[in-house]
C-alpha cells in the first residue's frame, strides 16, 4: 500500500515536464505569424506607395510636362483655304495639355470655311497639334457672264477662270439668269439649280474611265440630263438615278461607235447614227 503514491506522482512530474515545451512552440508560432503579417503589411504599403508615385508621375508627364503641352500647330492640305484662318482656329489650344486639346472644337470651327470639304485634327507627341484639311475640288465649269465658275460636287464655287480648264467638263443648265463671276465659297443658285445638281450627281457617280470622256453635260431639268463625250457622241442620260447601271450599259454600248446613245431606260438602251 505504501508504493501507490509513488506511482501516482511520476506521471504528474512527466506531464509538468512536458508543459513548458508546449508553451515554447506556441510562442514561436505566434511570433512567426506576426512577422508574416507585418511583412505583408510592409509589402502592401510599398506597393501602394509605388503605385501612387507611378500615377503621379504619369499624370505629370501627360498634363504638366513641357513636352506634353501643345507648343506647335502644323497645317497640311491648304491651297485655296486661308492657312492663317486655320491656325487661328487652333490657336486657343496652345499651352494646354495635349491630351486635353479640344480637337472637336477646332475641327468644327475650321469646317465653317466655305472651301473646306473635310478636316481632321490629331495629336502628335511631343507637343504638336496636326490639322489636315481636304479642300473642295472642282469637278465642272459653269459658264458665267465673264469666264466660268469652277464648282465642286456640291455646287460650291471653288474658283473662277477665264476658260474651262483642260479635262474639266462644262455644265450647261438654265439657271434663270446670266451668272456673275461668283466668289469662291459661294453656292450656285437660280431656278435651274436642281438641274445643276442632277448633272453634278451624275458626274460624281460615273466611273473614272467614263468621267474622263465627258466634255459637256447639261440638263433641261432634273430628269433630262445629257452629255457630249470626247469623240463628239451624245448621250441621253435621263435622271440621276441608277447611275452605276447606266454607266455599265453605256460602256458596253461604246464598243459600237455611234453618234447617239440613250441609256435613260438602262434595260432598254438605244444606239443611233454613226460617227464620221
Domain of 248, CATH number, reads: 3.40.50.10960
Q: What CA–CA distance (Å, rounded) separates 234 from 217?
A: 10
CB 90 within 8 A of CB 73: yes
Q: What is the pLDDT of residue 29?
A: 76
Is residue 103 located within the same domain as residue 117? yes
Tell me: do 86 and 51 sit in the same domain.
Answer: no
Of 43, 64, 85, the position where a domain reaches its end is: 64
Look up the CATH number of the domain holding residue 79: 3.10.20.310
Same domain, 267 and 145: yes
168 and 187 co-located in one domain: yes
Report how many domains make up the chain.
3
Check whether residue 90 and residue 58 sit in a common domain: no
**Predicted pLDDT of residue 49:** 74
pLDDT at residue number 1: 45
Residues 12 and 116 in one domain: no
Give mean pLDDT in consecutive 10-residue pieces for the chain, a chain of 276 residues: 48 50 60 76 76 59 63 93 93 90 94 93 91 95 89 90 92 69 66 85 94 94 94 94 95 92 95 84
pLDDT at 63: 52
User: Which domain-ending residue is among 135, 163, 184?
Assistant: 135
**Which is it for the CA torsion 228, 234, 239, 244, positive or negative?**
negative
Same domain (yes/no): 129, 235: no
In a shared domain, residues 163 and 232: yes
The pair phi, psi for residue 48, each rounded to 5°, is -60, -45
Same domain, 83 and 185: no
pLDDT the model gives residue 48: 76
Q: For the chain, how far is it from start to end, CA to CA, in angstroms?
A: 153
Residues 41 and 90 placed together within one structural domain of the fold? no
* Torsion sign across C-alpha atoms 57, 59, 62, 63: negative
Q: Which pLDDT score is estimated for 23?
A: 47
Cα separation of 221 and 172, whole Å?
11
Same domain (yes/no): 50, 82: no
Q: What's the pTM value of the predicted model, to 2 decimals?
A: 0.68
Residue 275: half-sphere exposure toward Cβ, Cα within 13 Å: 15
Assess contact for 252 and 236: CB atoms under 8 A.
no
In angstroms, rounded to a whole number, what is the distance separating the alpha carbons of residues 171 and 163? 13
The range of the structural domain enclosing residue 6 comes to 1-64
Residue 264's CB is within 10 A of a number of other CB atoms, namely 19
166 and 248 fall within a common domain? yes
- The residue among 104, 135, 166 that closes a domain is 135
Amino acid at each position: 500500500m505504501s508504493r501507490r503514491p509513488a506511482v501516482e506522482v511520476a506521471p504528474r512530474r512527466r506531464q509538468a515536464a512536458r508543459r513548458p515545451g508546449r508553451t515554447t512552440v506556441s510562442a514561436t508560432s505566434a511570433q512567426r505569424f506576426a512577422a508574416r503579417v507585418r511583412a505583408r503589411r510592409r509589402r502592401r504599403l510599398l506597393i501602394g506607395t509605388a503605385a501612387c508615385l507611378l500615377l503621379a508621375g504619369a499624370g505629370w508627364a501627360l498634363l504638366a510636362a513641357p513636352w506634353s503641352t501643345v507648343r506647335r500647330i502644323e497645317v497640311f492640305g491648304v491651297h485655296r483655304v486661308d492657312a492663317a484662318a486655320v491656325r487661328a482656329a487652333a490657336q486657343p489650344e496652345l499651352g494646354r495639355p495635349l491630351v486635353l486639346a479640344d480637337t472637336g472644337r477646332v475641327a468644327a470651327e475650321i469646317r465653317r470655311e466655305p472651301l473646306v470639304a473635310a478636316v481632321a485634327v490629331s495629336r502628335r507627341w511631343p507637343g504638336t497639334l496636326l490639322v489636315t484639311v481636304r479642300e473642295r475640288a472642282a469637278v465642272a465649269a459653269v459658264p458665267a457672264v465673264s469666264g466660268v465658275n469652277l464648282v465642286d460636287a456640291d455646287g460650291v464655287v471653288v474658283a473662277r477662270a477665264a476658260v474651262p480648264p483642260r479635262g474639266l467638263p462644262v455644265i450647261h443648265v438654265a439657271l434663270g439668269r446670266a451668272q456673275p463671276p461668283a466668289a469662291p465659297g459661294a453656292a450656285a443658285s437660280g431656278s435651274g439649280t436642281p438641274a445643276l445638281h442632277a448633272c453634278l450627281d451624275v458626274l460624281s457617280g460615273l466611273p473614272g474611265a467614263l468621267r474622263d470622256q465627258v466634255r459637256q453635260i447639261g440638263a433641261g431639268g432634273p430628269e433630262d440630263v445629257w452629255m457630249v463625250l470626247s469623240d463628239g457622241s451624245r448621250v441621253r442620260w435621263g435622271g440621276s438615278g441608277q447611275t452605276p447601271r447606266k454607266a455599265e450599259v453605256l460602256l458596253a454600248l461604246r464598243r459600237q461607235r455611234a453618234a447617239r446613245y440613250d441609256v435613260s431606260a438602262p434595260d432598254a438602251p438605244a444606239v443611233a447614227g454613226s460617227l464620221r
